Amino acid sequence: MLTLTLPEIPHDLRQLAQPVEKLHIIGNTLDDLMQRPRLAIVGSRKITPYGRGVTESLTAELVSKGVVIVSGLALGTDSIAHQACLDAGGQTIAVIASGPDAIYPAGHTNLAREIVKKGGIVATEYDKGHKPFAWDFLARNRIIAALSQGVLVTEAAAKSGSLNTANHALQLGKPVFAVPGNITNPLSAGCNNLIKAGAIPVTCVEDILNALEWYDLAAAPKKILGATDEENTIIQLLQHGVSDGAELLLRSELETSPFNQALTMLEITGKIRPLGANHWSL
């Protein structure tokens, strides 16, 4: 347990309007992960295939650059970001709103154990036996913002709790990033509103690296090449944000049979992956 009297407590936790008096740490030392670049990834609990694909792909690429991912272990975007980080071989910090002895939601207990096992941290300001109330999740958000160097919202409705995390980041003078979404989708309204209010739009990882001046992490982007012209056509559409299978077929202008063959080969070779409901991602 870290307290305000200990030097290991990060400076930004002291600067909060509601300072963190103590922080229970399970797993790695906080000092170790705070020495590395850190980005919070948050968003709605209800997430679309587009939001899932964006969260997974951006997380994986950030981890490949050595970035530690911070999030709240909640349903939807948070747990997807944590799992994508682990799958990519990275370390992640999960800030929870319950006591350290009972993960909430309980269904994420195994995910929390995997986070700790793979060098990450589960952190909470609450003592053993604490069961979270609604306001505890909002309070938790300020810690997520304080432990990160910026906050990325990948998909959020107009009243998503993730916008509260973004607000805490702004109060601490940290940049807020948002992935633009379909203007007809209410689950993208929060991100689109953030961008209108001045958040940095993100269409690739380089947008984040450049804004945070993580220039030493910015290497040449990996090129994904297909084995045929048909495969390259599909890859280019996916790179431009098209994820729906029906729309991919339409915009590729390919016949159904060669399209399906190309899609199958891209999946077999690991260049794309299914997101469910006939949506795809690189």
List pLDDT tens digits, range 208-236. Answer: 999 999 877 875 455 667 888 899 899 98
Q: Rounded to an integer, what distance in angstroms lies between the CA atom of residue 86 and that of residue 159?
A: 29
Find tokens 């994508």 and name the residue: 84
**Residue 243: both structure tokens together:** 């994820």
pLDDT in tens, 170-207: 999 999 999 999 999 999 999 999 999 999 999 999 99
- My answer on whether 250 and 178 are in the same domain is no
Q: In DSSP terms, which residues pair with 27 in a beta bridge?
A: 121
Our count of domains for the chain comes to 2
Minimal CA–CA distance to 11: which of 125, 144, 146? 146
Q: In DSSP terms, which residues pair with 206 in a beta bridge?
A: none
Q: In DSSP terms, which residues pair with 22 in a beta bridge?
A: 3
Give the H/E segment covering residue 22: strand 22-27
255 domain-assigned: yes
- My answer on whether 234 and 183 are in the same domain is no
Highest mean pLDDT among 26-35, 59-68, 213-222: 59-68
What residue numbers bound the domain in which 127 lies?
2-217
Q: Rounded to an integer, what distance in angstroms lies between the CA atom of residue 282 and that of residue 265?
A: 13
- My answer on whether 253 and 146 are in the same domain is no
Give mean pLDDT, residues 244-269: 91
Q: Cα 169–77–66 angle (5° rounding)? A: 70
13 domain-assigned: yes
Residues 6+ apart with CB under 8 A from 127: 24, 99, 100
- My answer on whether 150 and 247 are in the same domain is no
224 domain-assigned: no
Strands 176-178 and 200-201: parallel
- My answer on whether 20 and 64 are in the same domain is yes
- My answer on whether 241 and 206 are in the same domain is no
Residue 251: what residue type?
Answer: R
How many Cα atoms within 13 Å fall on the side-chain side of residue 89?
4
- My answer on whether 166 and 255 are in the same domain is no
196 domain-assigned: yes
Asked which of 26-40, 106-120, 175-189 is least confident by mean pLDDT, the reply is 26-40
- My answer on whether 65 and 195 are in the same domain is yes
